[in-house]
Amino acid sequence: MDKAKKVGIFGGTFNPPHVGHYLLAKDVKKQFNLDKIFFVPSYLPPHKDHAGIIDSGHREKMTQLLISGDPDFILSEYEIKKQGISYSINTVKYFMTEFPGKEFYFITGSDAFYFIETWKDYKELLKLIKFIIFERTDFSREKVIKKHPEAADMLWANLHLIELSASELRTRIKYGNNIREEVGAAVWEYINKNQLYR
């Protein structure tokens, strides 16, 4: 991290982490010349139903397995170790304090940004860090900007997004389908070994 100047923060439930997350991070890193990207699994996300979310320890290990082949991707245990609800504003402040002098970028989907007014201290967050937004189905750039004009000044990722839904993947596992291709061999082996999402 010493030589890294531009650093991405990519938070999520990662329930489970999949190749879509990995390839998205690769594309964003290249497009915006980021030196490193932190993957930050949440302990408990503030805007999701917690019922279907498996233990944070499993999600942390699977995320590590997903990114282990790339030295520029780093797993952060900050939100999991802190426990409780994972608010983005607290996470961003933590990274800025822990790694002073770095230029941080918050990576999020257009579907999440569309509802940013529901985020804790969102106005402060928007002033604190630059956002990199990737478009998700049903939440086009135009739709987001219409609701939040300030989004026009954000950084928008120009990438070929692989539309993988973690909830769909969980359902497929439940019904006995093989999703090795979607999550990678190591994560799939871990899911089977620990009988997750069954």
96, 118, 47, 40 alpha-carbon torsion, rounded to 10°: -10
- Name the pLDDT band for 157 (thresholds 50, 70, 90): very high
User: Per mean pLDDT, which range of 28-32, 43-47, 62-66, 169-173 is the poorest?
Assistant: 43-47
Identify the pLDDT of residue 50. 63
The span from the CA of 38 to the CA of 107, in Å, is 10
Average pLDDT in the chain: 93
**Predicted pLDDT at 47:** 65
Q: Is the pLDDT of residue 192 over 90?
A: yes
Predicted pLDDT at 84: 86
Confidence at 44, pLDDT banded by 50, 70, 90: confident
Alpha-carbon distances of 92 from 88, 119, 121, 173, rounded to whole Å: 6, 13, 12, 33
Name which CATH class applies to 6-163: alpha beta
Residues 59-76 pLDDT 10s: 999 999 999 989 999 999
Q: Determine the pLDDT at residue 4.
A: 83
Q: Over 80: is that where the pLDDT of 54 sits?
A: yes
Strand ranges inside 27-87, DSSP E = 36-41, 73-75
Q: Does the pLDDT of residue 45 top 80, yes or no?
A: no
Distance from first CA to last CA of the chain, Å, rounded? 38
Examine the pLDDT at 48 and tell me if it is beyond 70. Answer: no
